[in-house]
Amino acid sequence: MEQRNKASSREHSARFERLLLTGAAGGIGQDIRHRVAEFAHHVRISDLPGVLVSEAALHEEIVPCDLADREAVDTLASGCEAVIHLGGVSVERPFEEVLEANIKGVFNLYEAARRQGVKRIVFASSNHVTGFYRQDEIIDATARKRPDGYYGLSKSFGEDMAQLYFDRYGIETVSIRIGSVFPEPKDRRMMASWMSQDDFHDLLRRSLFTPDVGHTIAFGMSANAHTWWDNRCAANLGFVPRDSSEPFRAKIEATPPPLPTDPVAVLQGGAFTTIGPFDPV
């Protein structure tokens, strides 16, 4: 661990003056909040009004904001050179909810980035952009998108926004199609999709500081024994995961397996492929 940190700080000693972190009250946000101090002198922390409870550290400034509020997002991004964009709906939900936070939200963020001179965005995309591939297929970032719900569709839209705003305005993005970032894998599917918090942090650092990324799509996964994703299209980032889901195998395999025909065992997106439709009541 110490070796990893030393190597990484040697590779990327630069820091931004001010960085924006959205979704800071979420599962990943809470884990990385204290770690992002190494990326910037000042960190603007944001989430929905009312959900950020802890006090600001010396290097932090807390600015609550609903991503669906265009004017507020414009103010939120002012003075920031870079953004780690984690905020939004993070599971399959009715379209109207996804529309506000993830589609209008990502539009508002990129528009704010254009107006406010943000140079680099790390966009928390998701494996659910390609969730309808089978678990016996290996795909890379050039594979046709096959979103497994409105949530995956919104992340697909976010990746397209990233491409558009690079091609038109030169704003660089690394879209990380995150597998499953949790302290440990929760089920058999996550034995393939899991990414440790340390590996995620390393990929974040590379996504922020690697020069000339244009719009790069990277799969966010650890060095698991079996995986579905080929990260060669993101080789420019030099990301080599260190952790693996293997130490959790015995614990996971002690739980009852799903039926072999269950989408959880067949499709990369697992249970997300079957959530919905959401009929109006």
Residues that bind ligand 15L (CB under 6 A): 90-91, 126-128, 180, 190, 193
CA dihedral 45, 51, 55, 61 (to 10 degrees): 20
Select from ligand 15L, ligand NAI, none the partner in contact with residue 235, using the beta carbon and a kind-dependent cut-off of 5 to 8 Å.
none
> Binding residue for ligand NAI (CB under 6 A) from 40, 47, 239, 267?
47
C-beta of 122 vs 171, nearer to ligand NAI: 122
Does the protein bind ligand NAI through residue 178 (CB under 6 A)?
Answer: yes
Report, in Å, the least distance between residue 150 CB and ligand NAI: 12
Residue 27 lies near ligand NAI (rule: CB under 6 A): yes
**If contact means CB under 5 to 8 A according to the sort of partner, which of ligand NAI, ligand 15L, none does residue 28 touch?**
ligand NAI
23 is a site residue for ligand NAI (CB under 6 A): yes
Work out which of 37, 48, 99, 233 binds ligand NAI, going by CB under 6 A.
Answer: 48
Asked if 32 is part of the footprint of ligand NAI (rule: CB under 6 A), the reply reads: no
Residue 49 CB coordination number (10 Å): 12
Residue 151 is a catalytic residue:
yes
Q: Is 89 an interacting residue with respect to ligand NAI (CB under 6 A)?
A: yes
Smallest gap from residue 155 Cβ to ligand NAI (A): 7
Tokens of 216: 């790069």
Q: Out of ligand 15L, ligand NAI, none, which partner does residue 149 contact, by CB within 5 to 8 A per kind?
A: none
Q: Which stretch binds ligand NAI (CB under 6 A): 10-18, 26-34, 163-171, 223-231?
A: 26-34
Shortest Cβ 13–ligand NAI spacing (Å): 27
Catalytic residue among 110, 151, 165, 169: 151
Contact string (CB under 6 A) for ligand NAI, positions 99-118, x = contact: -xx---x-------------
Residue 132: CB partners within 8 Å, gap ≥ 6?
Answer: 146, 147, 148, 267, 268, 269, 273
What SS3 string covers the chain?
A: CHHHHHHHHHHCCCCEEEEEEECCCCHHHHHHHCCHHHHEEEEEECCCCCCCCCCCCCCEEECCCCCCCHHHHHHHHCCCCEEEECCCCCCCCCHHHHHHHHHHHHHHHHHHHHHHCCCEEEEEEEHHHHCCCECCCCEECCCCCCCCCHHHHHHHHHHHHHHHHHHHHCCEEEEEEECEECCCCCCCCHHHHEECHHHHHHHHHHHHHCCCCCEEEEEECCCCCCCCEECHHHHHHCCCCCCCCHHHHHHHHCCCCCCCCCHHHHECCHHHHHCCCCCCC
Per CB under 6 A, which region of 133-141, 176-184, 238-246, 260-268 contacts ligand NAI?
176-184
What residues are annotated to the active site?
151
Binding-site ranges for ligand NAI (CB under 6 A): 23, 25-29, 47-48, 51, 66-68, 86-90, 100-101, 105, 124, 126, 178, 180-181
